Amino acid sequence: MQRGRFRRPSLSLVISLIALFVALGGAGYAATGGTFILGRANSATSQSGLASNNAGKALNVTQKSTGTGATALGLNVPAGKPPFTVNSATRVNHLNADRVDGKHDTQLSPGAAAVRTADAALTPFAYTSVLTLNITTADTSLLLSSAAVEFRNPDGPNADMPYCFVRVDDTNDSVPFMTGVPDTYQDDATSLAVEAAHAVGAGAHNVQLMCATNSGSVVASTAALNVSAHLVHP
């Protein structure tokens, strides 16, 4: 009986079989300049890009699974690196964030504000509360407050100097005075603004705008008389 002869496979056949094995099983691999294989892990040593001139989305990813953890996109980066960058400040609808400057949304208070509806005459050399705001916190917080006020002198030009500061819970410590007030002005308004930060505990707190002058002819005008505050929780 004649013994059959075994033919060695050609080099091209061996390469084809290896490529088929890689494509059908295990982790796929697409090197730089190679083919991107769907359903497999791909890798590249330089940036990959997609450019489109259609009027809709350049790329659309749809996740049809309703299973736990199903999502349309995953972005993984080393520690300390941003997951993506953008070149537009346009608002993205439905894009929600629960952190602002490292603070969780539960650590931020929506704040509160108060305005006065009547002018307040200032008392010479004695502080008067021209506006009070009440705010409550459930735990120890940092209370950030700000105020704005306009002054008028109904009697015309003089050398009166109005001055104000923000007081929290009747405490005057470490509160900056409003500064930079011109010492001569008429019935036209002169504006001031001030900001302050106070550490407060749980409970109700009051924020007051305290003002005084060196004569009795100056009033704090309702044109811009307001106090606002919000809480930043640790």
Q: Would the pTM of this model clear 0.85, i.e. be above it?
A: no
Cα dist. 213→13, 70, 124, 197 in Å?
97, 65, 5, 24
Say how many residues make up the chain: 234
pLDDT in tens, 116-171: 888 888 888 888 888 888 888 877 888 888 888 877 777 666 656 777 888 888 87
pLDDT in tens, 209-222: 888 887 767 777 77
In a domain, 135, yes or no: yes
State the CATH number of the domain containing residue 214.
Answer: 2.60.120.40
- Least confident range from 10-24, 70-84, 133-147, 172-186: namely 172-186
pLDDT in tens, 74-106: 999 999 898 889 898 888 888 877 676 666 665
Task: Tell me the percentage of the chain whose pLDDT exceeds 70.
Answer: 66
Rounded-to-integer distance, Cα 123 and Cα 209, Å: 14
Q: How many domains does the chain have?
A: 1
In a domain, 191, yes or no: yes
In a domain, 162, yes or no: yes
In a domain, 123, yes or no: yes
